[in-house]
């Protein structure tokens, strides 16, 4: 039996003021190639309490639809308790990011991400400031 391979990687993605959605699928594919894992799992986590990771069809219409939906769930113009303590205008950013979550787990099969034809992995900045989003990646699997 082969010992499992474990690969650790880090990348950063510059984002604009939220809600800003960036496709990171190709970055993750580079990590898979470097890891030499053919079958296993990729886990990615965006560092910070106002960022999230998910999958969507990364095309302009869906990107705008997702932005609109996120803002309906936790509108920027609503009163948040966070604002009373910090007065930084980003209470909505924390709630939005918490609802979507900071991490994603994806299968790797035959050296490729097991994604649908129209499915891409995205990082989302919810904050009211541009951010350089750090993404930590762990790949575990076999050759």
- Tens of pLDDT, residues 95-114: 999 999 999 999 999 999 99
Task: Write down the pLDDT at residue 11.
Answer: 98
Task: Write down the pLDDT at residue 1.
Answer: 55
Query: What whole-number distance in Å separates Cα of residue 55 and Cα of residue 14?
Result: 18
The mean pLDDT of 26-31, rounded to a whole number, is 98
Domains and CATH numbers, the chain: 5-142 (2.60.120.460)
The mean pLDDT of 103-130, rounded to a whole number, is 97
Q: Do residues 32 and 106 make contact, with C-beta atoms less than 8 angstroms apart?
A: no
Residue 131 confidence class, pLDDT cut points 50, 70, 90: very high
Task: Return the ∠ at Cα 14 (arms to 46 and 17), rounded to 5°.
Answer: 90
Average pLDDT, the chain: 96
């Amino acid at each position: 039996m082969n010992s499992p391979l474990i690969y650790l990687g880090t990348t950063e993605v510059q984002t604009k003021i939220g809600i800003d959605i960036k496709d990171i699928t190709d970055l993750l594919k580079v990590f898979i190639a470097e890891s030499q894992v053919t079958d296993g799992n990729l886990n990615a986590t965006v560092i910070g309490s106002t960022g999230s990771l998910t999958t969507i069809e990364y095309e302009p219409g869906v990107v705008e639809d997702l932005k609109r939906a996120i803002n309906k769930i936790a509108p920027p113009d609503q009163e948040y308790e966070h604002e009373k303590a910090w007065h930084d205008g980003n209470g909505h950013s924390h709630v939005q990011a918490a609802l979507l979550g900071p991490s994603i787990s994806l299968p790797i099969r035959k050296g490729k991400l097991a994604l649908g034809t129209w499915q891409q992995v995205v990082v989302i900045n919810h904050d009211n400031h541009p951010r350089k989003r750090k993404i930590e990646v762990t790949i575990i699997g076999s050759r």
